[in-house]
Structure 1
Amino acid sequence: MTDSRTEKTSVAKQLGPGLITGAADDDPSGIATYSQAGAQFGYGLMWTMLLCYPLMSAVQLVSAHIGRVTGQGLAHNMRQIMPSWLLTALVAILFIANTINIGADIAAMGDAAQMVVGGGGHVFTIFFALFSLILQVFVSYHRYARVLKWLTLSLLAYAAVVLVVKVDWAAAGVGLVVPHIAGASAVATIVALFGTTISPYLFFWQTAQEVEEIEDNDEAEPLNDAPEQAPVEMKRMRIDTFVGMAFSNIIALAIMIAAAATLHQQGVTEIDTAADAAKALQPVAGNFAFALFAIGIIGTGLLAVPVLAGSAAYAVSNARGWTCGLENRLRDAPGFYGVIALATLLGIALDWSGIPPIQALFWSAVVNGFAAVPIMAAMMIIATRKAIMGEFQVKGALLLFGWAATLVMGAAAVAMLVWQ
Structure 2
Amino acid sequence: MAATGDQAPAGAVRAGRRTRLLALVAVLGPGLLAGLSDDDPAGITTYSVLGAQYGYQLLWVLLLSTLALIVFHSLGARMGVVTGQGLIGLIRQRYGVRAGGIALVVLVVANVGTTCAEFAGIAGGFELFGVSRYVAVPVAAVAVTVLMNRGNFHRVEHILIGLSAVFVAYVAAGILAGPDWGQAFYGLVVPTMPLTRDAVLIATATVGTTLAPWGLSFIQSYAVDKKLTVADLRYERIDVATGAVLTGVIGFFVVVACAATLHVQGVAINDAADAAGALEPLAGSLASALFAIGLIGAALLAAAVLPLSTAYSICEYTGSEAALDDRFADAKPFYLSYVVVIGVSALIVLLPDAPLIPILVLSQVLNAVLLLPLLVFMYGIARDRDLMGDHTASRPAAALYLATIAFIALCVGALFVLNVA
What TM-score do you get using the length of structure 2 for normalisation? 0.91
One-letter code aligned to 2:152: S
- Aligned partner of 1:186 in structure 2 is 199
- What 5-or-longer segments of structure 1 have no aligned partner? 215-219, 222-229
- Aligned partner of 1:411 in structure 2 is 410
Q: How does 1:217-296 map to 2 (within 5 A)?
A: 221=229, 230=230, 232-269=231-268, 271-296=269-294
Deviation at 1:253, TM superposition (A): 0.5
- What 5-or-longer segments of structure 2 have no aligned partner? 1-9
One-letter code aligned to 1:255: V
- Aligned partner of 2:337 in structure 1 is 339
Deviating more after overlay: 19-28 vs 311-320: 311-320
Cα distance 1:256–1:366, how it changes in 2: closer, same or farther (>3 A)? closer
For residue 136 of structure 2, the aligned residue among 124, 131, 138 is 124
- Aligned partner of 2:378 in structure 1 is 379
Cα distance 1:361–1:119, how it changes in 2: closer, same or farther (>3 A)? closer
Cα distance 1:278–1:362, how it changes in 2: closer, same or farther (>3 A)? closer
**Which SS does the other structure have where 2:126 is aligned?**
helix
Cα distance 1:419–1:195, how it changes in 2: closer, same or farther (>3 A)? farther
One-letter code aligned to 1:39: A
For residue 85 of structure 1, the aligned residue among 79, 98, 101 is 98
Superposed CA deviations along residues 30-72 of structure 1, whole A, max 9, x for unmatched, are 0000000000000111111222232211111110011000111
Q: How does 1:3-402 map to 2 (within 5 A)?
A: 3=14, 6=18, 11-116=24-129, 118-184=130-196, 185-214=198-227, 221=229, 230=230, 232-269=231-268, 271-353=269-351, 354-402=353-401
Superposed CA deviations along residues 272-318 of structure 1, whole A, max 9, x for unmatched, are 22212111112211110011001101111111112221101111111
Deviation at 1:266, TM superposition (A): 1.2
Distance (Å, rounded) in 2 between the aligned partners of 1:23 and 1:157: 13
Deviating more after overlay: 366-375 vs 38-47: 366-375
Deviation at 1:363, TM superposition (A): 4.3
Distance (Å, rounded) in 1 between the aligned partners of 2:179 and 2:373: 40
Distance (Å, rounded) in 2 between the aligned partners of 1:282 and 1:41: 20
**Which SS does the other structure have where 2:95 is aligned?**
coil
Deviation at 1:96, TM superposition (A): 2.4
One-letter code aligned to 1:91: L
Question: Given that residues 89 and 100 in structure 2 are in contact (C-alpha distance below 8 angstroms), is that contact kept between their aligned partners in structure 1?
Answer: no
Deviating more after overlay: 391-400 vs 129-138: 391-400
Cα distance 1:10–1:318, how it changes in 2: closer, same or farther (>3 A)? closer
When the two structures are aligned, how many residues end up with a matched partner? 404
Distance (Å, rounded) in 2 between the aligned partners of 1:82 and 1:355: 38
One-letter code aligned to 2:317: A
Distance (Å, rounded) in 1 between the aligned partners of 2:261 and 2:224: 43
Distance (Å, rounded) in 1 between the aligned partners of 2:286 and 2:181: 21
**Which SS does the other structure have where 2:378 is aligned?**
helix
Deviation at 1:138, TM superposition (A): 1.4
Distance (Å, rounded) in 2 between the aligned partners of 1:362 and 1:84: 32
Distance (Å, rounded) in 1 between the aligned partners of 2:58 and 2:331: 44
One-letter code aligned to 1:151: L
Distance (Å, rounded) in 2 between the aligned partners of 1:137 and 1:177: 44
Distance (Å, rounded) in 2 between the aligned partners of 1:141 and 1:418: 46
Question: Given that residues 126 and 133 in structure 2 are in contact (C-alpha distance below 8 angstroms), is that contact kept between their aligned partners in structure 1?
Answer: yes
Distance (Å, rounded) in 2 between the aligned partners of 1:396 and 1:304: 35
**Which SS does the other structure have where 2:265 is aligned?**
coil
One-letter code aligned to 2:346: I
Superposed CA deviations along residues 144-167 of structure 1, whole A, max 9, x for unmatched, are 111111122111111111221211
Question: Given that residues 55 and 401 in structure 1 are in contact (C-alpha distance below 8 angstroms), is that contact kept between their aligned partners in structure 2?
Answer: no
One-letter code aligned to 1:295: I
Deviation at 1:362, TM superposition (A): 4.4
One-letter code aligned to 1:114: E
Question: Given that residues 90 and 371 in structure 1 are in contact (C-alpha distance below 8 angstroms), is that contact kept between their aligned partners in structure 2?
Answer: no
Distance (Å, rounded) in 2 between the aligned partners of 1:69 and 1:326: 20
One-letter code aligned to 2:177: V
Distance (Å, rounded) in 2 between the aligned partners of 1:397 and 1:158: 36
Deviating more after overlay: 326-335 vs 361-370: 361-370
Question: Given that residues 175 and 257 in structure 2 are in contact (C-alpha distance below 8 angstroms), is that contact kept between their aligned partners in structure 1?
Answer: no
One-letter code aligned to 1:47: W
Deviating more after overlay: 322-331 vs 364-373: 364-373
Deviating more after overlay: 341-350 vs 409-418: 409-418
Look at both structures and tell me which one has the larger radius of gyration over its CA atoms: 2
Cα distance 1:49–1:369, how it changes in 2: closer, same or farther (>3 A)? closer
One-letter code aligned to 1:346: V
Question: Given that residues 30 and 239 in structure 2 are in contact (C-alpha distance below 8 angstroms), is that contact kept between their aligned partners in structure 1?
Answer: yes
Question: Given that residues 62 and 380 in structure 1 are in contact (C-alpha distance below 8 angstroms), is that contact kept between their aligned partners in structure 2?
Answer: no
Distance (Å, rounded) in 1 between the aligned partners of 2:393 and 2:365: 29
Deviating more after overlay: 155-164 vs 105-114: 105-114
